[in-house]
Copies of this chain bind each other. A is one copy, B any other.
Amino acid sequence: MKTVSIVGGSGYGGGELLRLLLAHPCVDVKQVTSRSHLGEYVYQVHPNLRKRTQLKFSDPAILESVDILFLAQPHGQAQHHIEEYAKLAPKIIDLSADFRLRDAAFYEKWYGEKHASPDWLSKFVYGLPELHRLEIGTADYISGVGCNATASNLALLPLIKADLLDVSAPVYVEIKVGSSESGAEGNAGSHHAERANVIRTFSAFGHRHTAEVMQEMGLNNISLTMTAVDLVRGVLATAHARVKQDVATKDLWKAYRAAANENPFLRVVREQRGIYRVPEPKILAGTNYADLGFELDESTGHIVAMCAIDNLMKGASGSAVQCMNLMMGWEETMGLEFMGLHPI
Contact = CB atoms under 8 A, between A and B. Distances in A.
Interface residues of A, number: 93
A170 B339 CA distance: 39
B197 A342 contact: no
A286 interface: yes
Given A19-B339, A199-B281, 17 more contacts: A12-B343, A176-B176, A176-B227, A179-B193, A179-B343, A184-B343, A196-B230, A197-B230, A199-B280, A202-B278, A204-B304, A205-B297, A225-B238, A230-B230, A230-B231, A285-B344, A286-B341
B48 A201 contact: no
22 contacts: A12-B193, A16-B341, A19-B342, A22-B339, A23-B339, A44-B273, A44-B274, A47-B274, A48-B283, A49-B342, A174-B240, A178-B193, A179-B191, A179-B196, A182-B193, A193-B343, A198-B280, A199-B280, A221-B300, A229-B229, A233-B341, A286-B338
A188 interface: yes
Contact of A229 (B47, B176, B190, B194): B176
Interface string A271-309: 101111111111101110101010101001010101010
A308 B291 CA distance: 29
Given A47-B342, A275-B194, A23 B229 contact: no
